[in-house]
Amino acid sequence: VLVEAGLTENGWVKVDPFTLATPFAGVYALGDCAETGIPKAGVFAESAARAVADEIAVSIRGGRARPYDGTGLCFVEMGDGEVGRVDVYFRAEGGPTAPLLGPSTEYAAEKADFGAIRRARWFDL
């Protein structure tokens, strides 16, 4: 669909990396199709969606949108009921950062909540 619509270049939808706007007025792209320079994991698509929603809202009511910053998080199973959390910031000054927090049982609970919230939202569970 994207290819036939003329939105792709070399297999990707070209976007402004901070607004996710395409060269076509009022058209944005995010997630697996967008050439952002950021990994394609779902948590990055979530933060990209927030940035696009902010851009659209600002285009309607004015103001200044926050740029897409390439943030996300990842949970890492460490064993013995403990989980680590990695907070990734791809556009940090000086280059990407990804500190490991934990491991702890608190992050295990946070990971469970993170998954439950998304299952409920995405699949109406």
Which residues in 12-39 are b (16+ Cβ under 10 Å) and which e?
ebbbebbbbbbeeeeebbbbebbebebe
Check pLDDT > 90 for residue 56: yes
Mean pLDDT of 12-31: 94
Cβ distance 30 to 52 under 8 Å?
Answer: yes
> pLDDT-based confidence at 122, cuts 50/70/90?
confident
112 pLDDT tier (thresholds 50, 70, 90)? very high
The whole-model pTM stands at 0.84
